[in-house]
Amino acid sequence: MKSRYLCMFISGLSGCLINSISVASPTLQSMTDSEMSATTGQALMSLSYIAPSDALNLEAKRTGGDTNIGFYKLGFEAKVEINANIRRLQLGCGGVNGASGCDIDIENFSLSGASTDTQDTAANRAARVQSDAIMNNPFIEFAIKNPNSASTRSVEGLRLSAESVIGMLTFGTENSQTSGKVGIPNGINSLSGYMELNSASGTAVTNARNMTQAIGDMTGRVEMCIGGVIFGSCVGGWAPVNYTASTYNIELSSASASFTTNPAVVNGKRQTAVQLTGIANIGDITFKCPTGQETSCVTATALGLPLKEGVSGTISNLKANVLVNQSLGLIHKIPVNGNAFSLSLQNKNIQWPGAAAANIAQQGWWLAFGGGIDIGNISPSNNVDIPDSSLRQALGPAGDQGNTTINGALYNNMPRCSITGCLFGTVLQVPKIYLGPGNGAPANTPQTYVDFPLVNQVLSAQSFVPNCYGGLKYC
């Protein structure tokens, strides 16, 4: 009985006949040893090794790296499709990096197929739940100290990764804010790892606001008609007169500011925020006196005489140095478009094979992304306030006669008024104030920049569809 089953087993593998195993199957051909050696194939799993002396060993070659570490990689030659929710991912809490906090602390972590939807509808929920992230050739890799010595070798690190991943990572329950329009961080509490953020663009809309003496002294010049204006003509000629505004209250309109951030790198232990820098092109800002003060919102002194005036005009071509300081708890969505990403644990700082030069996995747990990450449009959901500090920079010092500040422009671009008009109230039409070149500005107009900080803004594109059916925010 045993021999019968053995023969059947052998015949299943080799195609042998039950009655005559000496007769070869017409569908099989014999091969020589040399032909067998030249044959290639594919296995489900593969094992590779990078020795300390190999060119691919980045750890051994980096400055300060360990020259006695080798890497063993067990790879799965497969495509893995996965849709997963993790209620809370906490790794490395306490330990070598400090008793308080965790190396990685992420609430409501979801991995699904790629999706660009931001509207929470039943159809979009179903589409996300039924989608899968695709992990191509996942692998496990070990960093081994002294790999050639059986008595002293040790495991220095372990890495879980894949050659590439396509999908969507989301964190937290929702892209929410308080009634006061302040973002509510949720999702990423702390992150130890490495991530390159590509340049991103957005548009911020500023709130209208008033500009007063609290910002600084407003100075400039007017052309005053010395002898008076008769039938539209100045008798006695026009004379430039310096003035200093003792008080003023000017309304500034809302403006649109398109901005683009520079590429940035998130790199380090237990991070809670990311900083982005960029340049904003601020649209025209009109200014005028408040209602009821049309001819008296500026009180100034010229030639020792008190002046009460109204003003109106436009500030054009102003640019801003944008500094975005954003809590990681307000970053809820990371599209993974063919990037490799890995989760590793190491006893010491290690540069894993294939990692970017700056991506040195630090002691403890480490989450790293390969290649640039697009976080999408970073337009704030709400209007933003122009801070006093930005206006102070734009106004410039009292008495400025240059052409890079508002005070300088008020000095060089003089509105005209009669003596009676200046003394008893009129609306001075200030020529357009150009704080940068282009759009009709005089030749050689230099560019003025002001600092514009943005802190913990709710970003509209960071809204996401929960990876759940029904009305659950997380499941």
pLDDT tens per residue, range 32-66:
888 877 877 777 889 999 999 999 999 999 999 99
Average pLDDT over residues 104-124: 92
Residue 26: per-residue pLDDT = 64
Q: pLDDT-derived band of residue 307, with 50, 70 and 90 as boundaries?
A: confident
Q: pLDDT-derived band of residue 407, with 50, 70 and 90 as boundaries?
A: very high
**Higher pLDDT, residue 444 or 308:** 444
Contact 361, 369 (CB under 8 A): no
C-alpha dihedral, 406 to 255 to 451 to 191, nearest 10°? 180
Q: pLDDT-derived band of residue 118, with 50, 70 and 90 as boundaries?
A: confident
**Higher pLDDT, residue 204 or 30:** 204
| pLDDT of 14 strictly over 80 | no
Encoding tokens for residue 116? 């660009």
| pLDDT of 104 strictly over 70 | yes
Residue 19: per-residue pLDDT = 42
Average pLDDT over residues 227-252: 86
Residue ranges of domains in the chain: 45-175+332-374, 203-265+275-324+384-458
| pLDDT of 2 strictly over 60 | no
**Higher pLDDT, residue 235 or 129:** 129
Average pLDDT over residues 398-424: 87
Q: pLDDT-derived band of residue 259, with 50, 70 and 90 as boundaries?
A: very high
Write down the mean pLDDT value for the chain: 89
| pLDDT of 5 strictly over 80 | no
